[in-house]
Amino acid sequence: MSDERPIGFFDSGVGGLTVLREVLRRLPAESTIYLGDNARAPYGPRSDEEVRRFSSECLDELAARDVKAIVVACNTASAIALGDLRKRFDRPILGVVRPGASAAVLSTRNRHVGVIATAATVRSRAYFGAIKDEDPFVEVYEHATPELVPMVEAGVLDGPEAEQAVRRSLAPLLEGRQDVADAVFPKPPGTGIDTLLLGCTHYPLLASLISQVAGPGIAVIDSASATASALASLLEVNGLSARRSDAPRHVQYTTGDVAAFRRTTDRLFGPLFPAVEPVALVGAA
């Protein structure tokens, strides 16, 4: 059996394209539909109620296009809304928190893992819980880095402005400061993180800068590769894999600026996605 229906991907903006990129590498026969809610990005400063409502509206759009499975390629939505979304929609839905947590636990050697994420994701403690479920003895230090997502959405991925923002964002985790209100730690005396988990799918677009600032002693982990592996298993177990030999189709939608969105897809995918289309969500302001 071969299921040729597309896989749906949803993110608050362009960040989930990093997950899509890994899925296409792992599952080249699959067709995809990607929806970025760029008009309402970022989700991190939003209330939990808004995140749930926006996520449901985006998944309504994907479900209406007969996707066979949905990847919530947004850490904030995965952390806040995944349980509600699974209750509402009658198809497999995969988040990015659990795969990322598993990858971080496999990476760490000293059992000290730092997590950078949006304010909403840190508030939810989703990564803390997921990492502790994998290994209760891993110490987890979560830190909100709110200036990174708007910067990525604006296409600022390198240069002095981006480097300064990354340095400011990582400083509390790397220096162990205890005077930062939104840092859920302090760092234990005499120890440091050896693994930094990028708890937002926007952040891999800054991966080279983040690795440079973090230094060679810290492994930088994102959830994209682990999510692609989890998706492959989910499709296989449920008999949903596509096995055809002809070219799959890929469709991109954004609720925001098409030209800005296209600049990021060009950077990541080149000519693979020939067009980006606008979409207006039912219920969106």
Q: Provide the annotated active-site residues.
A: 74, 200
Q: What is the DSSP string of the chain?
A: ----SPEEEEESSSTTHHHHHHHHHH-TT--EEEEE-GGG---TTS-HHHHHHHHHHHHHHHHTTT-SEEEE--HHHHHHHHHHHHHH-SS-EE-SHHHHHHHHHHH-SSSEEEEEE-HHHHHHTHHHHHHHHH-TT-EEEEEE-TTHHHHHHTT--SSHHHHHHHHHHHHHHHHT-S--TTEE--PPTT---SEEEE-STTGGGGHHHHHHHH-TTSEEEESHHHHHHHHHHHHHHTT-----SSPP-EEEEESS-HHHHHHHHHHHHGGGS--EEE---TT--
